[in-house]
Chain A
Amino acid sequence: GRETESRHVVSVRSLLPGSVCSSPRDSNPFMLKVVHRHGPCSPLTPGQKPDYTELLSQDQARVNWLHHWISTSSNQKSTRASLAANIPASSGGSIGTGNYVVNVGFGTPTKEFTVVFDTGSDLTWIQCSPCRSCYPQQQQLFDPSRSSTYSNISCNSPKCSQLDSSSCLAGRCRYEVDYGDKSQSEGFFGSDTLTLTPSDVLPNFLFGCGDQNKGLFGQAAGLLGLGRQPVSLVSQLKSKYGGVFSYCLPSTSSSSGYLKLGGGAPSNVNFTPMRASSSQPSFYFLDLVAIEVGGKQLPISQTVFSNAGTLLDSGTVITRLPPSAYAALRSRFRQLMTMYKMAPPQSILDTCYDFTGNDTVSVPTVALVFGGGATLNVDFTGILYVFNMSQACLAFAGNDDASD
């Protein structure tokens, strides 16, 4: 496609996902390969074709969960206990609905598992045998008794106290992670060798060996927690990798990206300050200060963004904006798309177009401007969420409340 300062011009055909994985089998040995969970590159056997409306509904559930979690996070342990009670199962969000997966190895000899990766949670866990209650997964369960390097963590170990929610059984530390929709992982807290890549073999990695797990994890074996708390993968490996990690999410489900620990940043990366919150210690906050559409900044006061705050999450699908910011974005976007026939709204997306009969489409650029001047000129594939040719929707949504 072509790109000007104000519009993307692309072939209509390129909007649709490919059915064949175009990613090379041999990926870079120093990086983890990141693929979409439901695409042709996923190592997980495809079940039913994903229902996009259902995926967006799950996305809203996750956002509800994040909002609820953050608004009541002054006392996290009691909040966790109350979440399941306060949020109906149908509207609660699962942290495990993340769309991107990576393969990692646990134990000695190493066994490979496909896990969702998530910057919005901390504890890494996989399903283990013997299992009291596990959901079906693609790979065989991890059996710690067959790993020569697995160790249990005792209840009186300081490592056990790193957990948000722990208990003790026969002297062994147990973890529990409860999510808003009553999704759950519970099991023994242990350590073993984690093999990320052939050059990233990490002994004594702390993780959850889940024996009671349920929720919307698909066929994935577990979850890779990349949040900010001490138990997260990033924090555990801070001394080895300098507290730096990076990823790239592929533009289509038929291609792949990467997840990398440590290393330098590409030269074209622009930085914005990270805002840490002591009351919300898992999340990565940053300062969104402006939005540009078609090369022009929208008339949104910075206080609209600063009053709400903004976090960066690999597990949420659609960007959520304060209501007035979204209204301004939608209004300008619609003004610049009047040459296309509008289509009915879909789920949480209310600005949709029918591109039937067009060979190419021209869509205004969208940029997110962060504190310090870092700008994310959203890739074309991040501006529209395409259900099909007759329904391509602006891939942003508004929060219900200005203080959300």
Chain B
Amino acid sequence: VGIIGNVQQKRFDVVYDITNSRIGFGANGCS
């Protein structure tokens, strides 16, 4: 498999919405 690692996730809001089976990314997080 390909793997999206944590370096590439930095400064993004990463949302795991298991109930609705979706994953979200929002830029400029951590503020």
Contacts and interface: CB of A to CB of B under 8 A. Distances in A.
A216 to B, nearest CB: 16
Given A265-B24, A270-B24, A377-B27, A316 B17 contact: no
Contact of B18 (A228, A312, A379): A228
A238 B18 contact: yes
Interface string A253-268: 0011110000001101
A202 interface: no
A226 B1 CA distance: 20
B26 to A, nearest CB: 4
A89 interface: no
Interface in B2-20: 2-19
Given A251-B11, A368-B8, A395-B8, A66 B24 contact: no
Interface string A378-404: 110110010000000001100100001
A319 B4 contact: yes
B1 A248 contact: no
Contact of B6 (A272, A274, A276, A313): A313
B18 A243 contact: yes
Contact of B29 (A248, A272, A385): A248
A315 interface: yes
Chain A: interface size category: 35 or more
A256 B30 contact: yes
A171 B12 CA distance: 46
B14 to A, nearest CB: 6
Interface in A42-82: 59, 63, 66-67, 70
Contact of B15 (A246, A257, A404): A246
A382 B8 contact: yes
A343 interface: no
A258 B19 CA distance: 21
B10 A381 contact: yes
* Interchain residue pairs A-B with the least CB separation, the first 4: A269-B26, A243-B19, A248-B29, A269-B24
Given A271-B23, A284-B16, 6 more contacts: A244-B19, A271-B24, A274-B17, A316-B5, A316-B6, A376-B12
Interface of A: 59, 63, 66-67, 70, 98-100, 119, 226, 228, 234, 238, 242-251, 255-258, 265-266, 268-274, 276, 284-286, 288, 305, 308-322, 325, 368, 370, 374-379, 381-382, 385, 395-396, 399, 404
9 contacts: A242-B19, A245-B16, A250-B11, A285-B1, A286-B4, A310-B2, A368-B8, A379-B10, A399-B2
